[in-house]
Chain A
Amino acid sequence: VPPPPPTLLTLPDVTLLHTLNFCDYLSLQCLRKTCKFFRALVDESLPDSKITDLSVIVQRRNVVLMLTTKISPVHFISFHQRADGCYVGGDRVEKKLPDNSYYLDAFFIDLEILIRHCKSILEKFVVFMHDDQIGAEFCERFHLMMMEKPQLKTKCLHINGVDAAPVLSLLPHVDPEYLTFMNITGTAATPDFSGILALDHWQKVARVHLTRCVIPNVFQDIGHLEVFKTQLQTVMTATDIRLLKDMFLLPNTNLKEVGLCFDTRDNDETMTAELGEIFVIDPEPVFVKSRTWYFKRAQKIVAVTIDVRDARLKKCDNSDNIDYRMEFPALTIQMPQAEDLTDSSTTTTPVSLDRSQRPPHSYKELIIEAIEKSPQKQLMLKEIYANSIRHNLSLHDCFEKVPLRHHDTTLHGPNNSGHYWRVVNVPIEKQNLRKRVRKQQMQPRLVSRGNSSRSVDASPSPASISPTNPLQTSIATQVNGLPNLLSTAAPLQLNPILATLLSSIQILAAQNQNVPTETPAFQF
């Protein structure tokens, strides 16, 4: 008896899934409705059957629904009101609904079906309203549709162009448990969104962006957020910054970044009176003109930077628009990664305590120095390597030359010549003696404060350079006299080449004549 002819249902799973991988989201939704077998298959096996982003663009007489899945291109379904009724356009066809149909009615029938069948957690739910009036109507209908239904689960929520009342009626229908990012833009009337503070969403969310709206005294309620960005409608005062800075320094705050856009701010004199001296970076990078203050309390360090951006970076018409950023944290010491070695962008990186920033001397600069200091201004690769190392070995008293002994010669072969280098136990200030003789006269406070805080390593091993000292000096110099900054830092295991480089960085930093000698910005 020959077997019955195969059908789509009796195909092996691999074959069937391969076939269905070519189908888009809407086709799979139709296939899903044919029988239970396909309903289970589509729900369980096919990633493209899940919507990731759901976007709604609301205009007067027109709504567009956009569905994004992992694989298929975005699906657009538009609901358009014309004189003779509502037209619905899909990816392939436009269809007129029965007479007297209203486009929002048709839209909400489909949206309800969609949300009812949407079992997964959305990545993004976007409502974009072009018109205040239709926005209010949309939110009211959304509220009526979602009443007594499960809340919409989404990770990111974007609402654009709403007044306070609509946004407060819409938010309760979004499940706060899954919400991590909330981006709300008000209207030209800058509505008061204070009601948001009372919702669960405000407490659960980690990142918030607010634009074109006001929430009086919002800075008191952002301690639990990680990132908060807003556009200030009022003058940004030095008192605001002090308040924010104090919040960053609280022991239990989550704050990582606060960004404020504003039109006007207190002038530098007021800022300086409130916050202390500006930490000047010199040479100032070309594209970022910034004013930076550092604050420290306990183990936390906060950098306050006001960037006066270059005109080409601005979006606003006002050519004096100023962007303000406050960043946390803090001090981490990182070994340079392999990919960092070819990165020349560090040359324009401002000196800062940001963990993502490194000392301002790239390998490029160190190589330039090595070549420039060679007699013929040109070096072979091995000479570059040797020269920069030799430069440092001979520069610092902490390195001592030791002749090869007899058994070393036999070990490395008879033609081998040269010396061993080892690290000798020298007090910190003597390690940098050559460059510091001049410095000590100019910056007595820096050195004396530095000395008082550093403990001398009593027994450095000849085999490995004791790395903490040059590194500490380096960082402390960069941050301009932060004497106790590294005293609690655990000793690092650096390889000798890195330690050498770091010590040369320290010297270059010490050469910088413009580093202020005072430490007014630190408030302990």
Chain B
Amino acid sequence: MSCEEPTTSPTPENNITVVSSDGKEFLLDLKLTEQSETLARLISNFEYDRTDVKKDPVPLGNITSAQMQKIIEWLQHHRYYPKWEQNDIHYSTSFTFETWVEEYLNIPNNEMFELLNAANYLNIPRLFSTICRIMASRITGKSAEQIRTVLNIKTDVKNDVYTGIPIQEDSSSSEDGMSEISLSPSPPPI
């Protein structure tokens, strides 16, 4: 785990314990939980930000310890960002990402999807939106066949619904004329 922010050792007064699906416990600074709607609401509902309240470990049954490590890395990096906010319009729609994000999300697709589900579960809008944008950037600019390859989608279309013409596996069919003409022929490898 590489964090740019030095990890302050959490003290019992300002942290909570979360438990991943495989039973591993993580001490989490309350400041870090501000990025997650799920955790922030939980803390405010149970008044865990008060020192005189007894804190139970929070079980996160949908998240493995590996995913939790990854999430905590994100939270550490964004600890000084504004609190979570639901409205997406505050987040960028561009396909250019800061270097840290590109390195952070330079992971296989299946790990990315798992991380996306975890971000959805914990409702970390900034992370959720960023992964969605990365996914969209991997779809954009490719022909149908290239998307199938990149995202490992097996085609289930044998005949075109409207013409009855079989869709050929190579992308030179007339059906792909539009895309071949207007899209980049050789996408950068992911």
Q: Identify which of A8, A20, A116 contacts B153 (C-beta below 8 A).
A: A8
Residues of A within 8 Å of B95, CB to CB, are 22
Residues of A within 8 Å of B17, CB to CB, are none
A18 at the interface (CB under 8 A from B): yes
Residues of A within 8 Å of B157, CB to CB, are 33, 35-36, 39
**Known A8-B135, A19-B135, A92-B183; contact A31-B147, beta-carbon cutoff 8 A:** yes
Mind listing 6 A-B residue pairs with CB under 8 Å? A6-B114, A22-B133, A27-B139, A38-B153, A95-B185, A113-B178
Residues of A within 8 Å of B181, CB to CB, are 77, 88, 90, 95, 106, 110
Q: Would you give the shortest CB distance from B1 to chain A, in whole angstroms? A: 22
B44 at the interface (CB under 8 A from A): no
Within 8 A of B (CB), among A39-63: 39
**Known A8-B151, A11-B116, A33-B176; contact A23-B182, beta-carbon cutoff 8 A:** no
Number of interface residues of A (CB under 8 A): 45
Q: How would you classify the secondary structure of chain A's contact residues: helix, strand, loop or mixed?
A: helix
Within 8 A of B (CB), among A81-112: 88, 90-93, 95, 106, 109-110
Number of interface residues of B (CB under 8 A): 48
Q: Which residues does B use to contact A, with CB under 8 Å?
A: 88, 93, 95, 109-110, 113-114, 116-117, 120, 128-129, 132-133, 135-137, 139-144, 147-148, 151-157, 161-163, 167, 174-185
A34 at the interface (CB under 8 A from B): yes
Is the pair A7, B155 in contact by a Cβ cutoff of 8 Å? no
Is the pair A22, B93 in contact by a Cβ cutoff of 8 Å? yes
Task: Find the residue from B152, B162, B174, B177 having the highest chain A CB count within 10 A.
Answer: B177
Q: Which residue of A lies closest to B111 (CB)?
A: A5
Is the pair A35, B156 in contact by a Cβ cutoff of 8 Å? yes
Cα of A21 to Cα of B91 in the assembled complex, Å = 13
Is the pair A27, B142 in contact by a Cβ cutoff of 8 Å? yes
Q: How would you classify the secondary structure of chain B's contact residues: helix, strand, loop or mixed?
A: helix
Is the pair B117, A75 in contact by a Cβ cutoff of 8 Å? no
Within 8 A of B (CB), among A434-452: none
A140 at the interface (CB under 8 A from B): no
Residues of A within 8 Å of B144, CB to CB, are 30-34
Q: Identify which of A9, A14, A30 contacts B143 (C-beta below 8 A).
A: A30
Is the pair A8, B113 in contact by a Cβ cutoff of 8 Å? yes
Cα of A308 to Cα of B115 in the assembled complex, Å = 68
Residues of A within 8 Å of B163, CB to CB, are 116
Q: Identify which of A6, A24, A110, A116 contacts B140 (C-beta below 8 A).
A: A24
**Known A22-B93, A23-B140, A110-B177; contact A6-B117, beta-carbon cutoff 8 A:** yes
Q: Identify which of A8, A11, A34, A109 contacts B155 (C-beta below 8 A).
A: A34
1/0 per position for A136-164, CB-CB distance to B under 8 A? 00000000000000000000000000000
